[in-house]
Amino acid sequence: MKSVIPILRIFAERKAKEFYLDYLGFRFDWEHRFEPEYPLYQILNEAVQIHFSEHHGDCSPGAAVRIQFEDLQNYHSILKSKEYSSSNPGIEKTPWNTYELTVQDPFRNRIIFYQNT
């Protein structure tokens, strides 16, 4: 095995791009459409790849993805400096010795950024 690429369910391309590109700072990589109203595209942020789909058969909303970070405090500061009214995440220390910052996208998927202590 080489890598895992999660697919997250979305319902509105504009909201997905606003959240993942503008707020989280991910980078747009490519897009494929079977039909104009059904986008399937990938967002890439360095080594992290996530696919997004509006196709109901690809996945269900409400998934959770964990992404490891080396400097979670710096990323937290970047998010706090942005104006995004639907999210105000904090960092918590867990009993399993990680620091975690959890955000929920507009489609009820959770992205858990973590750093080992």
Asked if 30 and 41 count as a contact pair (C-beta separation under 8 A), the reply is yes
Q: Could you tell me the CATH number of the domain that includes residue 45?
A: 3.10.180.10
Q: How many helices (H) and strands (E) are present in the chain, helices listed first?
A: 2, 8
Q: Is 8 exposed, middle or buried (0-12, 13-18, 19+ CB in 10 A)?
A: buried
Residue 65 inside a domain? The answer is: yes
What digits encode the pLDDT tens for the residues 51-97?
888 888 888 889 999 999 999 999 999 999 998 888 889 999 999 99
Residue 21 inside a domain? The answer is: yes
Residue 1 inside a domain? The answer is: no
Residue 110 inside a domain? The answer is: yes
Residue 50 inside a domain? The answer is: yes
- What is the domain count for the chain? 1
What digits encode the pLDDT tens for the residues 43-63?
777 778 898 888 888 888 899
DSSP 38-94: EEEEEEEETTEEEEEE--TTT--SS-EEEEE-S-HHHHHHHHHTS--TT----EEE-
Whole domain around residue 32: which residue ranges?
7-116
Prediction pTM value: 0.89
